[in-house]
Amino acid sequence: MTARKYLLLFALAVPGSVFALTQPDISAIGDFRGYTGNWIDSTDAKTSRNGNFNMRFEELEVVLSGYLNPFAKAQIVISTPGDGLEIEEAYATIFKGLPLKTEVRIGQFLVDFGKLNLSHAHAYPFVDRPVVHRVLFGLDGFKDQGVSMNCVLPTRFYSKLSFNVLKGSVVGEDEAVEDPLDGRYTHAPILTSRLNGFWSLSTKADMDIGVSGFIGRYKGRGAYGTGDAELGYRNLYARMAALDGKCKIRPNDYSSLTLQGELILNSRDLFTDVFEKRSNWGAFAFVDYRFRKRYNIGFAVDRAPGIYDNGDGDYEQNIPVERSNTATAAFDDKNATKSFALFTGYSLLEETTLFRLTARWTSFNISDSSRLVDGSVESKRGEFTLSAQMIFSLGPHKPHEF
C-alpha cells in the first residue's frame, strides 16, 4: 500500500477516533426549596404540611453529554427526586448526514409537544410546572421512550416539523380494565407531531409559533359493550392538540421581555356502563421581564381541567388516593383548577446560582361533583402557596433554546 493511501486512511479514521475518545461533559444541577401554604384535601381538612415552613431537596440532576462520532451525540440525565435514582432522559441523536437537515433521536426524552415541555423545570422563570402540564402530563412533564425525527422545512422563514413514535405506558390488561379512568395508560404506540415557525420581527424581537398533535390507544371494559364478546373490551383513544407561542423582546443587552403561552385541547374516551367521549381544555400564559441581566420579575396564569389536589408528590401533600381527584382530572369536562402566580428571581452570575420566589393562588371551580371521587363535595376553598427555590449548576451547562 502506498504512503498516499496510508495518509488517506489515517485522515478518515482520526476524526471518528477523536470524537469517540473525547470525555463527555458532566454537570450537576441542584434544586433546594422552602415552602408553605394553606393546603386542604377534598374534605376541607388541613394536610400535614399546612402552615408549616417546609424544606426539602427537590432534585439533583446529573447530566452527561458528548459526541459519539462526527455524526451523532448522546445525552443522559439522571435525577434523584427523593429516594433512589431515576433516568429522566437518555438518548442518542444523529444530527448530520441526513437530507433536509433531518435529526433522529432514539431513547427516552422530553417530547416536543408544545414548547415549554422541551425545557427542564429548572429552566423555567418560575418555580412550579404549570398545573395543566401536571394534570395532562404528570409531575415530570411529557417524557417517553421512542424515536423522534425532525427536519427543517424549505420555507422562506425557519420552520421545523417533528414526528414521534413513542412507547406509551404499557400495563397489564387487568390493571387497565379494572379502572377505565386510568385510561392514560396506552396499549399501543403514541404518535405525536409538532410544526413550528420562527420569525425575526426586528433586530430586537423574535417570535416562535407551533402546533402539536397527539393520539394514543388503550383499552377499557364496560358492563356491556362491543369488542370481546365475553368481557366487553373496547379500544379507547386519547387525543390532544396544542397551540403554543413565544415572543422575546430585547431592548438592550441587559434586559428582555418574554411573553409565552400554550392552549391544549384534550379528548378522552371512556367505556364504563356506556361508551362516551369527554373533551376539555387547559391553558397557561406568562410574562417575564428580565432586567440588569441578573434579575427577573413576572406573573403567570394557568387553567387546568378537573380538580388538582397536589396529591401525588407535589409539595408532599400525600393526600390518599381515595380522596385525590388528580388521577381523574384529565377526564373531567365539568370542573376546573385555576391559578395566578407572581414570581421573581436573582442570579449571582449567569445561571450557576439562582434564587427564585413564587407566590401562587389556586382556586377550584366545581360545577358538577359527580365527576369527583367524592360526589358529595360541592366546593373547595382556594389555596395559597409560597415557595422559595435555590438552583445551583456545577460544570458545563448548555444555553437554553429560544
Q: Note the pLDDT tens digit of each residue in 257-274.
A: 999 999 999 998 887 667
Report the alpha-carbon angle 175-274-169, nearest 5: 30
Q: Report the first-to-last Cα separation within the chain, whole angstroms.
A: 52
Is residue 18 included in any domain, yes or no?
Answer: no
Judged on CB neighbours under 10 Å (0-12, 13-18, 19+), 202 is: exposed
Supply the range of the domain harboring residue 265: 25-394
CA 126/CA 280 separation, integer angstroms: 26
Mean pLDDT comparison of 8-12, 111-115, 135-139, 185-189, highest-scoring range: 111-115
For the cut 60, the answer to whether the pLDDT of residue 152 exceeds it is yes
Cell numbers that stand for 320 in this block: 390518599
Closest alpha carbon to 346 in 310, 385, 295: 295
Could you report the per-residue pLDDT of 22-75, keeping only the tens digit for each? Answer: 788 999 999 999 999 887 766 677 777 787 888 988 889 999 999 999 999 999
Judged on CB neighbours under 10 Å (0-12, 13-18, 19+), 132 is: buried
Say if CB 383 and CB 229 are below 8 A apart. no
Q: What is the CATH number of the domain that holds 295?
A: 2.40.160.10
Greater model confidence, 205 or 375? 205
Mean of all residue pLDDT scores within the chain: 83
Could you report the per-residue pLDDT of 293-345, keeping only the tens digit for each? Answer: 899 999 999 999 999 987 556 776 667 767 778 888 988 999 999 999 999 99
Judged on CB neighbours under 10 Å (0-12, 13-18, 19+), 191 is: middle
How confident is the model at residue 227, as a pLDDT? 45
CA 258/CA 190 separation, integer angstroms: 32
CA 240/CA 302 separation, integer angstroms: 18
Is residue 361 included in any domain, yes or no?
Answer: yes
Report the alpha-carbon angle 267-165-314, nearest 5: 60
How many distinct structural domains can be found in the chain? 1
Q: What is the CA radius of gyration of the chain?
A: 23
For the cut 50, the answer to whether the pLDDT of residue 181 exceeds it is no
For the cut 80, the answer to whether the pLDDT of residue 284 exceeds it is yes
Residue type, 47: T
Cell numbers that stand for 156 in this block: 422562506
Is residue 160 included in any domain, yes or no?
Answer: yes
Mean pLDDT along residues 382-390: 93
How confident is the model at residue 8, as a pLDDT? 45
Is residue 3 included in any domain, yes or no?
Answer: no
Could you report the per-residue pLDDT of 348-368, keeping only the tens digit for each? Answer: 876 688 999 999 999 999 999
Greater model confidence, 236 or 387? 387
Residues facing 143 on adjacent strands = 110
Cell numbers that stand for 227 in this block: 369488542
How confident is the model at residue 228, as a pLDDT? 47
Is residue 155 included in any domain, yes or no?
Answer: yes
Is residue 8 included in any domain, yes or no?
Answer: no
Say if CB 130 and CB 116 are below 8 A apart. yes
Greater model confidence, 273 or 178? 273
Closest alpha carbon to 111 in 74, 81, 148: 148
Is residue 17 included in any domain, yes or no?
Answer: no
Give 99's pLDDT tier (boundaries 50, 70, 90).
Answer: confident
